[in-house]
Amino acid sequence: METVILVVVIAVLVLGVLGGLVVGSRRKKSLPPPPPAAPDITAPPAEPQVGDEAETPRDEPRRTIEEVDLPDGAPAGVAVEEPPADLTVEAPEIEIPEPTAGRLVRLRARLSRSQNALGKGLLTLLSREHLDDDTWEEIEDTLLTADVGVLPTEELVGRLRERVKVLGTRTPAELRGLLREELLTLVGTDMDRVVKTEPADRKPGIVMVVGVNGTGKTTTTGKLARVLVADGRTVVLGAADTFRAAAADQLQTWGERVGAHTVRGPEAGDPASVAFDAVKEGKEMGVDVVLIDTAGRLHTKTGLMDELGKVKRVVEKHAPLDEVLLVLDATTGQNGLVQARVFAEVVDITGIVLTKLDGTAKGGIVVAVQRELGVPVKLVGLGEGADDLAPFEPEAFVDALIGD
């Protein structure tokens, strides 16, 4: 009996020891990890690791590639922030336009290549030994083909017949001199062909440019800016052709080339508003001239023509217009006269600009359009070059007609 009791006691003791071991093990596993050791503030800072986002504090500026010392052994191709690129856009270089004095004379050869057929044809006919009625009819046909117009042709032929009859024997030199005198009379040497840009009582002078699509109106406005700058004037351009998407860009490009400021508005915006702002800014800037390019409206569109009249009225709230220049394509001949009539009814045309005069043998349009409107041709376009717009000079024009 005592032996049994001893065995039970030993078993209980063994089980107790084993249970304690298990409980201790479980408690040991549930204990939290020990806190990290406090950093040693006397120790030097650790080397930054490449690619570590925390290597540059947020309150310090990023360093450029020249300022960063990459650790030894850093892999190639590591991205390091570079300084921002210079986004400054350089202004276009300002061009110096060709002087305007005598420009038509310098372009005479180009003009004579297209117009010489008229002068040579007339001289050939006048040099015939017998100037009968058939010959004079041929002379009339030559002038009419050149778009001189019916009434001017009749006047010229009448005067030539009278003078040739009085002269009797005619040498080639006499015929050339005679024809030159009569053509100069027809073209007109007493008309004021100066583009009015310098009103005596105020600044700026205001010029409005009108015409139909395809005549080279916007290009002419840009070239006119060059003519004025070449004469020492300062210019503001008003891009009032808001219906053609490229018109304002085209005009601004012309202006930038000679240092002229361009005022423009939103596409399909109010042209009168753009014209008004152009004159306003021109006055504030103290420039000499404001050039206003209007839409190339079709002369058959009554509403658009009315709008052109509105542009004129709005501009004149600032000051009177000094010039209204009508741009005509010399190659259109008599159709140009139809355009001229309609525009003259809407705005008071003060001068004509004939473009593409070097591309037609119908130089007589100079005479015809002056007779139609009673205003002078003031400028002529003689090519595609930037400086191919020239003040019209009757003597140089007639000399190009009849040749040397």
The annotation places the binding site for GTP at: 211-218, 293-297, 355-358
In contact, 231 and 97? CB cutoff 8 Å: no
Q: Show Cβ contacts of residue 58 under 8 Å, excluding neighbours closer than 6 positions.
A: none
Helix (H, G, I), strand (E, B) or coil at 297: coil
For 165, the token pair is: 């009859």
Q: Alpha-carbon distance 300 to 280, whole Å? A: 31
Q: Alpha-carbon distance 314 to 347, whole Å? A: 13
Q: Show Cβ contacts of residue 241 under 8 Å, excluding neighbours closer than 6 positions.
A: 217, 218, 247, 248, 251, 271, 293, 294, 295, 296
Q: Alpha-carbon distance 207 to 379, whole Å? A: 14
SS3 readout for 46-58: CCCCCCCHHHCCC
- Listing DSSP states for 197-218 in one string gives ---TTSS-EEEEEE--TTS-HH
Residue 370, Cβ neighbours under 10 Å: how many?
20
User: Sign of the CA dihedral 139, 142, 148, 151?
Assistant: positive
